[in-house]
Amino acid sequence: QKEVEQNSGPLSVPEGAIASLNCTYSDRVSQSFFWYRQYSGKSPELIMSIYSNGDKEDGRFTAQLNKASQYVSLLIRDSQPSDSATYLCAASSGSARQLTFGSGTQLTVLP
């Protein structure tokens, strides 16, 4: 069974620090990887996608992918209280057209 695993947290970091969120996946044929942010009572919102090994940066967010280790991470630089949310890692294989989500990591950024 395809699985995506995350540390459930909660993870707390002080404002201005780097938050590091980690994710591993079991399906070696997974091609696409996504990070979603979900505020309490709201729907998941896509913040990053990554398809190839290495780093991808978008503003304060950096996604890292290592397919050999089946590992995906999300770094949030200069964390802000508004970044406090649950972060969901997701993986897909193109042929399946489905996402498998991790259980999410709850992040709290302390002012």
Residues that bind other proteins (CB under 8 A): 31-32, 34, 38, 42-46, 49, 51, 86, 88, 92-94, 96-101, 103-104
Q: Beta 85-93 vs 4-6: how paired, if at all?
A: unpaired
CB 28 to other proteins: min, Å: 16
Instruction: Name the residue nearer to other proteins (CB basis): 18 or 46.
Output: 46
Residue closer to other proteins by CB (options 79, 104) is 104
Pairing of strands 105-110, 11-14: parallel
Query: Given the complex with other proteins, which of 73 and 92 has the nearer CB atom?
Result: 92
State in angstroms the smallest separation of the CB of 44 from other proteins. 5
Smallest separation (angstroms) from other proteins to the CB of 71? 20
Give me the half-sphere count of Cα atoms (radius 13 Å) on the Cβ side of residue 45.
10
Sign of the alpha-carbon torsion through 50, 61, 47, 3: positive
For other proteins, which is the closer residue by CB, 26 or 98?
A: 98
Taking the alpha carbons of 37, 43, 48, 49 in that order, is the dihedral positive or negative?
Answer: positive
